[in-house]
Amino acid sequence: MTDQTVSSALATRDTGPGAMVERYRDDLAMVMPSHVKPDTFVRLAVSVLRRDPRLAEAASNNPAALMGALLEAARLGLEPGTEQYYLTPRKMKGRLEIQGIRGYQGEIELIYRAGAVSSVIVEVVRKNDTFRYSPGRDERPHHEIDWDAADRGPLRLVYAYAVMKDGATSKVVVLNRAQVMQAKAMSQGSDSAYSPWQKHEEAMWMKTAAHRLTKWVPTSAEYMREQLRAQAEVAAERPSPTAPLPQPAGITETDDDAPIDAEFVDEEPSDWPPTAQPGAGARA
């Protein structure tokens, strides 16, 4: 479906953004992991569009950007319009359009989905907190909070680590304010009044640390490749540890050097919907 065709879907009030999302439920379902219920996904997307007039306006201005963001959320198996996956309006060439941004809960969900960790800890440290961590000496950070304090002070640090199912502790990621601000500067639209960096600053600090942690723990994409390896070995009735792994449709490699919010919708979105690929419905 081309941008022009998508735009024509909004020609009348009866085919507004919410109605369009409902109409393309099956196209979104094709790329969802198996644990995601298409009806629930669509209901969440429609609900957030109908709740926020600015989002509805942005979706009407560029329907292809809306569907591109929803496609990304569907492929990752994250809930749109929540702290798993934000839908936000952003200004492009003087008008509002939809931008999709993974939230910290989405990053954590992708870690849990790999099945290798028992818990993920992501916390911010404020000025009046007590925080100690010495790499090589301490297994985990020591963080004390005065819960009776009226004001813990401004954000100072953020940290993240995972406890693996065998009890081991992953690498501990600790970022200071300067490092978080550097990540923010690389995020397109972070200075916009609509950006989650402005409206949910603490959550975006946590998202930054959780995203960095994914470099050191198994992710859902890695888990999927291991599942494919196991399936191939069973099908062949013999182990084949050196056999190349197929890349499942709908899963892309993570570029650790990319901006923290590299998931934003491109300025010139591609045609919608995409051509269905074999295995697109596999669990990510």
**Residue 56 in this model has a pLDDT that exceeds 70:** yes
- Identify the band that residue 68 occupies on the pLDDT scale cut at 50, 70 and 90: very high
**What pLDDT does 18 receive?**
87
pLDDT digits (tens, 9 = 90+) for 97-155: 999 999 999 999 999 988 899 999 999 999 999 999 999 999 999 999 999 999 999 99
Task: Tell me the backbone φ, ψ of residue 144, rounded to 5 degrees.
Answer: -115, 135
pLDDT digits (tens, 9 = 90+) for 148-206: 999 999 999 999 999 999 999 999 999 999 999 999 999 877 888 888 899 899 999 99
Q: What is the mean pLDDT of residues 38-56?
A: 93
User: Which tops the pLDDT comparison, 3 or 260?
Assistant: 3
- Identify the band that residue 5 occupies on the pLDDT scale cut at 50, 70 and 90: very low
Is the Cβ–Cβ distance between 91 and 109 less than 8 Å? no
- Identify the band that residue 237 occupies on the pLDDT scale cut at 50, 70 and 90: low
**Residue 3 in this model has a pLDDT that exceeds 60:** no
Is residue 265 classed as helix, strand or coil in its secondary structure?
Answer: coil
**What pLDDT does 181 receive?**
97
Closest CA to 175 of 138, 131, 238, 225: 131
Closest CA to 264 of 73, 43, 19, 60: 73
**What pLDDT does 67 receive?**
94
For residue 165, give the amino acid letter: K
Closest CA to 28 of 18, 39, 17, 12: 39
Exposed e or buried b per residue across 185-224, where buried means at least 16 C-beta atoms within 10 angstroms of its C-beta? eebbbbebebbbbeebeebbbbbbbbbbbbeebbbbbebb
The arrangement of strands across the sheet holding 155-164 comes to 117-126, 155-164, 173-176
**What pLDDT does 187 receive?**
84
Report the predicted TM-score, pTM, of the whole model to 2 decimal places: 0.69
Q: What is the mean pLDDT of residues 68-77?
A: 94
Give me Rg for the CA atoms of the chain. 21
**Residue 221 in this model has a pLDDT that exceeds 70:** no
- Identify the band that residue 236 occupies on the pLDDT scale cut at 50, 70 and 90: low
Half-sphere CA count of 183, side-chain side, radius 13 A:
22
Mean pLDDT computed over every residue of the chain: 80
**Residue 276 in this model has a pLDDT that exceeds 90:** no
pLDDT digits (tens, 9 = 90+) for 84-105: 999 999 888 889 999 999 999 9
